[in-house]
Structure formats: C-alpha cells, structure tokens
Structure 1
Amino acid sequence: MKKLLSGLVLVAGLFAPATAPAQDFTEKVLGETIYVPAYSRVFSHPNRSDLLAATLAVHNVDPDTEITLTRVDYHGEDGKLLRALLEAPVTLAPLQSSTALIPINDTSGGVGANFLLEWTSETPALSPIAEAIMTSGSGGPGPSFASRGRVIERKLAGD
C-alpha cells in the first residue's frame, strides 16, 4: 500500500501545474488595475442554470495608508463594458471596505462576467483584496462561492 501511495504522489507531481513566482504581498505600490472574475449564472446540467447575485468587495488592507478607487467597471462575458459602477472616486481609509452589487436578476454579464477596478494612492500602499462573492440568494441551498482578483497592471514608485 505504501508503494502505491508514493507512486500516486509521484504521478500527481508530474501533472501538477507549474507554479508562478510568489507575489510579495508586502510590496507597497502607488496603484493597480485588478481583474476580478464574476458569474451571473452557473450551469449544473446542459439546459439548467442557477442565477447568481455578485457582490464585489474591495478591502483596503493597509493599516496606515488610504487608497482611492478611481474606476470600478462591470464587463460582460464578451468583454464589453456593461456599466461603470463609480460616479466619482471613492477613498477608502486604512482597513475600510467598499462593495458593489450586481443583483440576481441581472443576467447581462453572462457566465464569464468580470469587474475591472483601478486604485491609486498618493503614497505607496499595500494592494487591496478585491473579490467577487456569488450567491444564489434563494434562501435555500444553492451555489455560493468567491473569486479573488488578479493584478494586471501595477504603478510603482518612480514610474
């Protein structure tokens, strides 16, 4: 049995995805663009899907520095802008959060919708946590999950 398990570990290691270099979460920067996947529905069978509400949550994790959200946009699965969610920049104090809701009856984004947000700071700050929380909102058992954002552009001090 021990040989079988070690063989499985070896085989599993052969097919494991290559790991990217670890991100330095303590690096302070002047701003970023963050892509956050979101889903307005998920399929459980070829002809059956569950509608989902999506809440974008942005957490300023820097205990000392405020950041300013300058853009929060909602895009459909085709990549087209559906709507801008900010009417004016929003400043988040240290450890403050902000949210935006795409209601359960809004299916305009499709299965592969996403949020694109930009933030800046006058002094270097830690990258915020940006994630989408999707839920069926039906009150009963149903799909519920979250997806974490990914930095796609970064503004360093001196850029």
Structure 2
Amino acid sequence: MASGAAADPASSLQQNFAASLTAVPAEPATVSGAFYVPVYSSVAMTPGRMRADFSVTLSVHNASESRPLTLQRIDYFDTAGARVEAYVKGPVALKPFGTIEIFLPVKDVRGGTGANFVVEWAASGEIAEPVVEALMVGGIGSGHYAFISQGRPIRLVGRKQ
C-alpha cells in the first residue's frame, strides 16, 4: 500500500494497485465530481494532554460494473488546510469494481486532528457514483478504536439558479 512516507506516492499507488487499474479512456470526460473525506490521524482524548494516533486507510471504489473511473486528484491536507501529499500526478483509471487504497501508518501524524483528503474523479459517460471512505484504526493503552469516515460529495451551495 502507498504510504505518506513513500519517496514517490504516485508511483507507489500505481505499482501497488496495478491489478485494479486500466488505461485512461480516450473519450473525453462527460461527468465529473469530487469528494471531501475528513480523516483523523490524531484525536485529542483530553484537552492538551492525551492524544490517540490512528492509522488511516483511504479507499476509493469504482462502483460501476461496466465503466472505468478516472481519478484526477487525490490530495491529503493537514488541519491548517495545507497540502501534505499529492498521490496522483496524472489521471489514472480504475477498472469496473476496482479499488485503490492509500495507507498512512500510525506514526504519520502530519495531518493532525483535522486532516482530510480531496478525491476528484471523472468518467466518459453515465456511471455509478464512486464510493470513497476512510478507515481509522488505533488505540490508547489497552483500548482499541476503529471508525469509518465517509466521503462527502463537494457541491457548491448558495448560488442562484
């Protein structure tokens, strides 16, 4: 799996998930979208004292049975909104029902308590909306915790039609 500490996360992603990838479609994209995925590499357990660190696994699933899903951007941001890592240098395409993952180990706390991913996607025709979610796993003392954060589509609001 790709790690935030990898020398070239984009190359690692393509190597580790080559079986899930296919050629980027030659047809122009007719539909696109983006997901915002809040993740928690660290969580404050008590104010200013105790912190629990978590591993993070971001999963991007192509929910289409028949069309490839093009991933145009997967960026990781920290609590202050600064980009920490870019995981895609150019478009990559997921096979139908294919999945890729990005793994951040427990020791990688660069994102902090308000970290997030942005995943931009496109397709060359009608397609099932991708499924994007993150699994956080960690513990403190003898207690272990695991939770999921679902990606939320990024949509503009407040514009008059």
TM above 0.5 = yes
| Structure-1 separation of matches of 2:97 and 2:115 | 27
The DSSP-based 3-state class of the residue aligned with 1:45 is coil
State the 4+ residue runs in structure 1 displaced beyond 6 angstroms.
none
Provide the residue aligned with 1:14 in structure 2. Answer: none
Structure 1 residue runs without a partner (length 5+): 1-28, 155-159
Is structure 2 residue 39 aligned with structure 1 residue 38?
yes
| Structure-1 separation of matches of 2:119 and 2:152 | 10
The DSSP-based 3-state class of the residue aligned with 1:106 is coil
Q: What is the deviation of 1:153?
A: 3.9
| Structure-2 separation of matches of 1:137 and 1:30 | 40
Question: 1:53, 1:137 within 8 Å by CA — same for their partners in 2?
Answer: no
Provide the residue aligned with 2:56 in structure 1. Answer: 54
Question: 1:41, 1:52 within 8 Å by CA — same for their partners in 2?
Answer: yes
| Structure-2 separation of matches of 1:73 and 1:60 | 18
Decide whether aligned partners of structure 1 residues 45 and 144 sit closer, same or farther in structure 2, where only a CA change above 3 A counts: same
TM-score (norm 2): 0.72
Identity over aligned residues, as a percent?
34
Q: What is the deviation of 1:76?
A: 0.4
Provide the residue aligned with 2:134 in structure 1. Answer: 132
Provide the residue aligned with 1:101 in structure 2. Answer: 103
Provide the residue aligned with 1:116 in structure 2. Answer: 118
Provide the residue aligned with 2:10 in structure 1. Answer: none
Residues 56-71 of structure 1 aligned to structure 2 (within 5 Å) = 56-71=58-73
| Structure-2 separation of matches of 1:129 and 1:65 | 14
Structure 2 residue runs without a partner (length 5+): 1-29, 157-161
Q: What is the deviation of 1:141?
A: 3.8
Provide the residue aligned with 1:20 in structure 2. Answer: none
| Structure-1 separation of matches of 2:57 and 2:125 | 28
The DSSP-based 3-state class of the residue aligned with 2:107 is coil
Provide the residue aligned with 2:152 in structure 1. Answer: 150
Q: What is the deviation of 1:126?
A: 1.2
The DSSP-based 3-state class of the residue aligned with 1:125 is coil
Question: 2:52, 2:139 within 8 Å by CA — same for their partners in 1?
Answer: no
Q: What is the deviation of 1:137?
A: 7.0
| Structure-1 separation of matches of 2:77 and 2:89 | 16
How many residues are treated as equivalent by the alignment? 125
Q: What is the deviation of 1:90?
A: 2.0
TM-score (norm 1): 0.73
Q: Which amino acid aligns with 2:45?
A: S
The DSSP-based 3-state class of the residue aligned with 1:144 is strand
Q: Which amino acid aligns with 1:44?
A: M
The DSSP-based 3-state class of the residue aligned with 1:123 is coil
